[in-house]
């Protein structure tokens, strides 16, 4: 798994630029690694999520609402039930059925 991650994040980039322009590889490689790793992580969230994009969007929205409401010292009643389900690991749409 570690090799697959390295190859998709940095290895394929290294392989291409090693033969195309090695000087450019040395100049850009360090910066590209972190950008590629971030993109790989975002894609991993989308690939591994068990649900559709609407559910993912609702869960992320509920988590942000919880985060910002706690910073302000209050909890919005609209998202309390959904947030409690998220903390327990249940999908809000599946748990309410």
Q: Give the domain-ending residue among 12, 29, 48.
A: 48
Please check whether residues 59 and 42 belong to one and the same domain.
Answer: no
Q: How confident is the model at residue 9 (pLDDT cuts 50, 70, 90)?
A: confident
Does residue 96 surpass a pLDDT of 60? no
Please check whether residues 60 and 38 belong to one and the same domain.
Answer: no
Does residue 81 surpass a pLDDT of 80? no
Residues 44-67 have pLDDT tens digits of 888 888 888 899 889 989 988 888
The pTM of the whole model exceeds 0.85: no
Q: How confident is the model at residue 91 (pLDDT cuts 50, 70, 90)?
A: low
Per DSSP, the three-state class of 49 is: coil
Burial of residue 14, with CB atoms counted within 10 A of its CB: 0-12 exposed, 13-18 middle, 19 or more buried: middle
Please check whether residues 6 and 44 belong to one and the same domain.
Answer: yes
Please check whether residues 65 and 29 belong to one and the same domain.
Answer: no
Q: Which domain holds residue 72?
A: 53-95
Do the beta carbons of residue 92 and residue 82 sit within 8 Å? yes
**Total domains, the chain:** 2
């Amino acid at each position: 798994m570690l090799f697959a991650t390295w190859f998709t994040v940095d290895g394929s980039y290294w392989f291409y630029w090693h033969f195309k322009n090695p000087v450019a590889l040395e100049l850009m490689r360090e910066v590209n690694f972190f950008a590629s790793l971030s993109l790989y992580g975002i894609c991993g969230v989308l690939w591994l999520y068990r649900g559709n994009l609407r559910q993912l969007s609702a869960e992320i929205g509920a988590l942000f609402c919880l985060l910002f409401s706690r910073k302000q010292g209050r909890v919005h009643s609209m998202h309390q039930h959904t947030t409690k389900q998220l903390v327990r690991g249940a999908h809000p749409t599946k748990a309410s059925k």
